[in-house]
Every structure is written in structure tokens, then in C-alpha cells.
């Protein structure tokens, strides 16, 4: 890695860390939209709300989390009364996760809060810069997705 590449990598790390803090992603017990729910739980509930029942393995894949992390996450969601484990077609080997009515209500509340937070964020970006910001984030997500690593709950931007 050249000195210029290292300098840019350190600059990127600093900017991403600053965004994580400014957006509230470092608060383990709250979503960035201010809801008293860990972000990992909000993401899981959102996936189950959008896609319907999923297996625990599929949820882990979508969230890019280890199976053991998702297992603990599902236990937390079950204890909240938001998720239930079910069997399909009499196959006890596959456990499906689905939202309860309380989980659907929570998913709806989280979606409303998330939409309001992103609308506020967008208003703070000059209109002419919005497409470039979205393109840059798309490039960043593509680059991060190309990395084969997944992190447990509480992963950081520090590597």
C-alpha cells in the first residue's frame, strides 16, 4: 500500500467513524432514528416485515451476521414478543421466524421513525449534491459487500 493509499484509507476511516457517531450508529441501545431498540433488532424486524417469514440462516445472511449472533438476536426478539419460531411442512429441521402482531406493529413504528430521520437527513444535503451522495454511498456499500467478513453485534468501523 502506498503512502497516498494509506492516507486515503485513514481519511475514509475518519469520515466513516464521524458519520457513525453523527448518525447515532454507535449507540447500542437505540436506533439512529431515536427509537429505544438496538439497531440489530430493528434491522431484523425490518427484514421480517418486508420479506415475511425467513429461516434463521437466511436472516443471518441478509443481516451479514454470524449464525450465533442471530440466534441471540432472535432470542431477544422472541422475549420482546415480536418474533415467533415456527415449523413449515412438518420439517422440524427448519425453523422459520415470523413477526407476531406486536412485532408487525413495532416494525411499522420503526419504519415511520426511520422515514422521518432520513427525510430530515436529506433536507440537510443541498439538492444538487444529493445524487452524488447517493452514488458515493452505493459505491461504498458495493465495496463493503465485496469483503467477505461479517461482524457480530457491536462490530465497529475501526477494523
67 near 57, Cβ under 8 Å?
A: yes
**Cα 44 to Cα 22: distance, rounded to the nearest angstrom:** 23
> What are the tens digits of pLDDT across the range 19-78?
888 888 888 788 888 888 999 999 999 999 998 899 999 999 999 899 899 999 999 999
Which range has the worst mean pLDDT, 44-48, 111-115, 153-157? 153-157
CB-count exposure of residue 129 (10 Å: 0-12, 13-18, 19+): exposed
Q: Are 140 and 14 in contact (CB under 8 A)?
A: no
CB-CB contact of 76 with 41 (8 Å): yes
Residue 126, all three cell numbers: 443541498
Domains of the chain: 39-126 (1.10.10.10)
Amino acid at each position: 500500500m502506498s503512502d497516498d493509499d494509506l492516507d486515503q484509507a485513514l481519511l475514509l476511516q475518519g469520515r466513516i467513524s464521524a458519520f457513525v457517531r453523527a448518525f447515532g450508529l454507535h449507540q447500542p441501545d437505540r436506533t439512529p432514528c431515536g427509537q429505544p431498540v438496538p439497531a440489530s433488532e430493528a434491522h431484523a424486524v425490518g427484514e421480517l416485515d418486508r420479506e415475511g417469514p425467513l429461516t434463521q440462516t437466511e436472516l443471518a445472511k441478509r443481516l451479514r451476521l454470524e449464525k450465533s449472533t442471530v440466534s441471540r438476536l432472535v432470542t431477544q426478539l422472541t422475549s420482546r414478543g415480536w418474533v415467533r419460531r415456527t415449523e413449515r411442512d412438518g420439517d422440524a429441521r427448519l425453523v422459520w421466524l415470523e413477526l407476531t402482531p406486536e412485532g408487525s406493529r413495532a416494525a411499522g413504528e420503526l419504519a415511520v421513525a426511520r422515514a422521518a430521520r432520513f427525510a430530515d437527513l436529506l433536507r440537510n444535503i443541498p439538492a444538487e449534491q444529493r445524487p452524488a451522495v447517493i452514488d458515493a454511498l452505493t459505491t461504498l456499500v458495493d465495496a463493503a459487500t465485496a469483503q467477505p467478513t461479517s461482524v457480530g453485534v457491536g462490530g465497529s468501523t475501526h477494523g
